[in-house]
């Protein structure tokens, strides 16, 4: 099993969760100081994307060494 596949799968799941919580509506609804749901969903979305990117980097590095 490749080294970066678990972070990619985890990141995909977290990104999907962030989108389901309303991460798409950030531009549409705007950010308010009182609206914490948008900030939380955007944070979850960002963490998921970071996992996907870092896992993809690990996958590329492990393929080069084989």
Residue 66 falls within a domain, yes or no?
no
Does residue 47 belong to any structural domain of this protein?
A: yes
Stronger pLDDT, 64 or 59, i.e. the higher one: 59
pLDDT confidence bin for 23, thresholds 50/70/90: low
DSSP state of 24: G
Q: What is the pTM for the complete model shown?
A: 0.71
Average pLDDT over residues 22-34: 60
Mean pLDDT for the chain overall: 78
Range of the domain at 22: 5-61
- The total number of structural domains that make up the chain: 1
Q: How far apart are the first and last CA of the chain?
A: 13
């Amino acid at each position: 099993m490749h080294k970066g596949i678990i972070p990619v799968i985890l990141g995909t799941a977290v990104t999907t969760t962030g989108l389901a919580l309303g991460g798409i509506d950030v531009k549409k609804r705007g950010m308010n100081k009182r609206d914490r749901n948008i900030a939380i969903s955007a944070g979850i979305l960002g963490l998921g994307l970071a996992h996907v990117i870092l896992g993809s980097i690990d996958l590329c590095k492990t393929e080069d060494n084989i």
